[in-house]
């Protein structure tokens, strides 16, 4: 019986010591993970010229150019990050009293480029943009290095 107790005590001490110290040194080799395919997202933004604030038609046209570009960026952000929709409705005497619906989008778009900017008809300006996800991935790699384990060597 005493021999069994000594064996159990010895095994417990050995297991405890092995859990606290490493018996082997190891070297971990990492490699960068790259996606298999890269989509190209496109967006078109529109802005009315006459509704812009400005003293002349040229200033309103320039403002519409900027607004259409921002609208295209908003559309790209919706495609990349999605759109948040909040709704609220209140009832009084089983009749809808107030109903609201709000949407928002937030995100950072890097690497997008303007394909074409042009007037549409007499009073609208349009901007076409694209976002090549390969370029986005390259920008991402420049700032952070995503890794996975390539190989582990034990000594």
Q: Where are the domains of the chain?
A: 40-132
Separation in Å, CA 44 to CA 58, 117, 118, 154: 22, 9, 11, 55
Location of structure tokens 């005493």:
2
Per-residue pLDDT of the chain (155 residues; tens, 9 = 90+): 565 656 556 655 555 555 555 566 877 877 777 788 999 999 999 999 999 998 999 999 999 999 999 999 999 999 999 988 898 888 887 778 888 989 998 888 989 999 999 999 989 999 999 999 999 888 888 888 767 777 888 87
Spatial distance between the Cα atoms of 142 and 118, rounded to a whole number of angstroms: 33
Residue 33 CA to residue 31 CA, distance in Å, equals 6
């Amino acid at each position: 019986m005493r021999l069994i107790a000594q064996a159990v005590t010895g095994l417990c001490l050995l297991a405890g010591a092995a859990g606290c110290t490493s018996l082997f040194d190891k070297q971990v080799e990492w490699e960068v993970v790259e996606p298999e395919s890269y989509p190209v997202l496109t967006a078109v933004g529109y802005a009315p010229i006459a509704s812009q604030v400005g003293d002349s038609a040229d200033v309103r046209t320039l403002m519409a150019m900027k607004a259409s570009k921002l609208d295209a960026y908003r559309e790209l952000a919706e495609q990349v990050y999605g759109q948040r929709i909040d709704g609220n409705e209140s009832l009084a005497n089983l009749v809808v009293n107030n109903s609201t619906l709000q949407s928002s989008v937030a995100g950072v778009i890097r690497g997008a480029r303007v394909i074409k900017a042009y007037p549409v008809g007499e009073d609208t300006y349009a901007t076409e943009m694209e976002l090549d996800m390969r370029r986005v991935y390259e920008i991402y790699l420049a700032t952070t290095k995503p890794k996975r384990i390539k190989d582990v060597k034990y000594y």
